[in-house]
Amino acid sequence: MTENNPQQTSIKKILPLILATAIFMQMLDSTILNTSLPSIAKDLGESPLNMQNAIISYVLTLAVFMPASGFLADRFGTKKVFIVSLILFSLGSLFCSLSENLTHLVISRVIQGVGGSLMTPVGKLALIKTFDKSELLKAMNFAIIPALIGPVLGPLVGGYMVDYLSWHWIFLINIPIGLLGIVLGLKFMPDYQSDDVEFDLKGFLIFAAASLLLSVSLELFGDMQNITPVLVVFILGFLFLYYYYKHAKKGGHPIFPLDLFQVRTFRVGIVGNLATRLGISSVPLLLPLMIQIAYKQSAVTSGWIIAPMALTAIFGKSSVIKILDKYGYRQTLMVNTFIIGTLICLLAIPNIHTSLYWFVPIIAVLGFFNSIQFTSMNTISIADLRNFQTSSGNSLISVNQQLAIGFGIAFGLIVLKLFENTDLIQGEIHNAFRYTFLTVGVLTILSGFVFRRLHISDGKNMKSKEE
């Protein structure tokens, strides 16, 4: 795009805001429900344990439809697909608030999930296609902040809404945000599409099955009574991934071409995202759990303890471009991952008699470095993709991130349950959390070595233009 066109300049200013709106809605919605489930269950006359279906239905819908986001954007245009996704998400939110039983709520969450599976990947694709590589880091950096704030604010906002309003408001809050996104999208969303598009139906069904099985297994890991069926589903998911690999090797137009993995920065970005999120994704779940279970504090208190993470993430946003320009992606990602892992280990130091305020500075600093991590990993993954690879590559990055967050949460819960059943904790549940933080922190430190595969010069084409 040329800089001298006022319309295109406006698009460049507003497009990151449009994507930020979509990401914020999706991330808030993924986490806000957790603290509200008991209240919804009571109102709908259900057992709180059955309410997991409301979360699982949304996650599984994302897993199934997200792989198709790149094809749909190429076929029908980024603008149309993005607007439709926002309409579906907003309608799903309205239907959720009007639900009179669990079945209605689950169906409404599926409608929400279809919208959610498309709006973030398609919004991100429009951003990648609009900005030059040298401008993309700055644009992506702004849009990614809601991904850091959403998971932190979700439980806190959800707790207050349930306590002071009603559970219906955790869904109704999406509607004005969705309407803002639709209005901005109609005016400023560019409409990129491709004439040369073939839909790989067989590949889509195989990959969707793999995503679905892996997502089901990750959800079941969190509440497992018998590990055998969970492992069977998990292994089956990987077998479908292998089946997809064999299918894509035959050529044609696979939904995710294997030549994406010949791009080293993409390959490292995908693996690094998966590895480092094992630790990063488990902290927003484990710390509030520990505060509520071991310290016997309320959900709102635990929400406030991790709230500084959202604030410092914004400060990280203002520093990441300077840091990447000075040290490059390889050094930044390696050192940053080591720091994050060390901070997670520090969460294991306080004992049950230590003040809760001890956690606040650690969480605050963690938010800052998480911001640097996510922006760096997201941008290096797309740094060397060619134009014809951006749609499929961007979709695969979105699917990978969704699964990585699920892996992180499941992994944290599995480690916690393993320590719970050992003599190491000496009857103190708090010690199980401490050992879990140590384990997760050490593994996060080790995951930093994934980024050694980057070259010192990688990401130079992403280097921002001087103001």
Confidence of residue 141 (pLDDT cuts 50, 70, 90): confident
Report the C-alpha gap between 320 and 311 in whole angstroms. 15
| Residues of the chain above pLDDT 70, percent | 89
Residue type, 54: A
What is the Cα 293 distance to its own chain's centre?
A: 26
Could you say which DSSP state residue 310 is in?
Answer: H
Find the largest Cα–Cα distance for the chain. 69
Report the C-alpha gap between 96 and 148 in whole angstroms. 25
Residues 61-110: tens digit of each pLDDT: 887 888 888 888 888 888 899 999 999 999 999 998 888 888 888 899 89
pLDDT of residue 223: 57
Confidence of residue 337 (pLDDT cuts 50, 70, 90): very high
Please check the confidence at residue 402 and state whether its pLDDT lies above 60. Answer: yes
Report the C-alpha gap between 409 and 405 in whole angstroms. 6
pLDDT of residue 443: 92
pLDDT of residue 3: 47
Looking at every residue in the chain, the average pLDDT score rounds to: 81
Radius of gyration of the chain (CA): 21
Residue type, 460: K
pLDDT of residue 61: 84
Exposed, middle or buried, 93 (CB in 10 Å: 0-12/13-18/19+)? buried
Please check the confidence at residue 425 and state whether its pLDDT lies above 70. Answer: no
Q: Which residue has the higher pLDDT, 239 or 161?
A: 239
Contact 30, 123 (CB under 8 A): no
Please check the confidence at residue 285 and state whether its pLDDT lies above 90. Answer: no
pLDDT of residue 388: 76
Confidence of residue 341 (pLDDT cuts 50, 70, 90): very high
Report the C-alpha gap between 342 and 360 in whole angstroms. 15
